[in-house]
Amino acid sequence: MSISRDAFNFVRELVHAESAIVLEPGKEYLVESRLLQLARQAGHDGVDGYVAHLSERRPSAGLRQVVEALTTNETSWFRDVDPFNTLKNTVFPALAANRTDRRLRVWAAACSSGQEPYSIAMTANDTPALAGWKVEILATDLSEEMLTKARAGEYSQLEVNRGMPASSLVRHFTRSGLNWRLNPAITQQVTFRQLNLVRPFPPMGRFDVVFLRNVLIYFDLPTKRDILRRVRQVMAPDGHLFLGAAEMTMGVDDAWERVPAGRSSVYRIREEQRACVPW
């Protein structure tokens, strides 16, 4: 039996209230498939009974599990390839030419189970212009479960098969039983922290590069606009923003401009807006 309308509406309202993610009608199958395992673990035969229990009792841990289950997105190593080639061949060298302290900071937002920030770390290690530099990567996500997995830096064979080049696997991983564990040279570059993008950012410092890829598509227009405005406040004036292929700033926050970079495009704060960005 498919999820009832009442159960779906409760879940979509909960998820929107906690994360601002919009679950449109037609996503009933997604909600049911994501929550069925949680329902069974809690002793319910189906999702409707589980959701009814949550709506009556409102246990904080159970509600948080629902939100995390519905906000965990697909991920892979070096996703879409081109952004990482652009990072290595264009963005990192350009930034290196304008930094005298030999230090760069990157923020990977909505990092899921860690493949993206670790891919950024490997890309930095493979960029000749950054030899001897300190590259710090902050990786954030809403889900504590995903962050725990990401911090472990250990992945199954199936997980490393999703986008990991064989040469990178050999150089940056060691065998750990049936799994693969990232070497400390990579994991030590990445710090993981829980963060909800729709709420005020905690003190984080300034970033030279921000990866906010395949995230904005889940939000309504006012939320997208607010997130992009707050991202500008933590960007270096000459910093670079990476969005997903289906995302753009046009019509959302026109303080950004899209600029070609390698075979891809990145976003930078418009010249006339840079004076508003604190150094």
Q: Which amino acid is at 139?
A: A
Q: Which of 12, 48, 141, 253 is catalytic?
A: 141
| 83 three-state secondary structure | helix
Burial label for 92, CB within 10 Å (0-12, 13-18, 19+), is: buried
Please tell me the distance from the alpha carbon of residue 114 to that of residue 77, in angstroms, as a whole number: 9
Specify whether 181 is catalytic: no
Two structure tokens written together for 220: 């309504």
Strands 190-194 and 235-243: unpaired
| 174 three-state secondary structure | strand
Specify whether 141 is catalytic: yes
Q: Which of 34, 79, 105, 232 is catalytic?
A: 34
**Contact (CB, 8 A) for 209 and 239:** yes
Other Cβ atoms within 10 Å of 185 Cβ, number: 12
Only one residue has tokens 């030419």, namely 97
Q: Which amino acid is at 104?
A: L
Q: Please identify every residue annotated as catalytic.
A: 34, 141
